[in-house]
Chains A and B, each alone.
Chain A
């Protein structure tokens, strides 16, 4: 788990150094080598595109990027489904992690391309906040996280079928209703009033 936050750092240290982005990229590149696939610059923060299997190492590197501070807070884990654009994206899903350095007020984004059925190492061993966020990604997108202590649905009912934020999930109509009635796998559930009252 994380090192405890050091609250003794004086306020004048709060500004990040001017070349922190280059230093962060260099540190990650030194650790990952070819598994740092690409670096994208954005209007808000830079994005490191990595191989999904190396996310734990990236988290470790970012945490100890400076002598006394680093990206110690995992803000969010989420995922994007690029089903409709297979030609312009290497894989179907992108898993995205956001890290925050509370002491110096800087953020960084890490992205990994994941194919359908491929699993990603969990960050629950390093960040408590990864627990529910990864469960949400699993619930909505169906991406599984290897080593997660309790990878079950967090928002939808346990017996729900399918992953509703996927782009091929039926938006409306009876096809969508099948997912919640459990008709896809043939599960028998006590859902309708008829079944209840005809007993």
Chain B
């Protein structure tokens, strides 16, 4: 048998190359029996026992994720908001302290360098969270773009660990964690964040995530992260909480229709192609920002657009597989899996605009044709939305 990602051996501390970076929670994952994968130079848990069980736990109860590989970049100073308005696609000056916003770092050609979540943690203070693989480029671009503004850009990634608690039971579990001082939890709405105290350590508690469920993300110092992880894990065990790896995270975000950098997003992709036109504040921002002129002009009329596809049988279309209309290649899959929650194969794909209404699309699954229908994104939506 052969398999694409077979070459990565299980992580072993003693023989890992020096370039492999380990999370502050690594020893906990090893003790929990995790299998590891290389992700942007980090050895991160891909699964603990079963990725399907971990996926199901997040949909029905809760899952605990280590996301310490993510990049955290601090932008601080009297003109931090103005700097971000210029550097990013969104109007970050419009968010209040305690609020978060999904945004994009564009290149001058209108392509996407990275997608980000920005938290306003003070009047003059923003935390920009970047994908692990884009941490350096995001920090560099932010620093360059902010150079004419009165603010500082600091890459704090090495000093911040990130843990996510996701699932319908996340709030109940969080309320029961011993040692957490959470005065603002009652008012903590989706895409809001509050500073809290966990056993004497500062932690930013955010109601954000990447799973399509209610949940929280915790930004905390690396040396305090193991205690927080273990406290949440112990508290939640009786409620069905399990540690969950990157494999489950990927199928969860796919069902939730959330793009992943390197799959749905690239420096060649305009936001509008990926369904992210709303993220670009063309109307509400009066000033210039990087990528503005290109985005105003828009992509070529025949530029492909992102769609959701549902297909027959059990064989999923996967990244790189052609989307066919008769004998014509009219698109390409960017992410796909047999949906664990829905039971049928789902995929996101870029297709020619002319094919985006077609009812006769097929996927070329390693030489076999599989009928596929365009369906609205997300594929999965949780039952009751948290406001």
Do they bind each other?
no
Residues of chain A having any CB pair with chain B under 8 Å: none
Residues of chain B having any CB pair with chain A under 8 Å: none
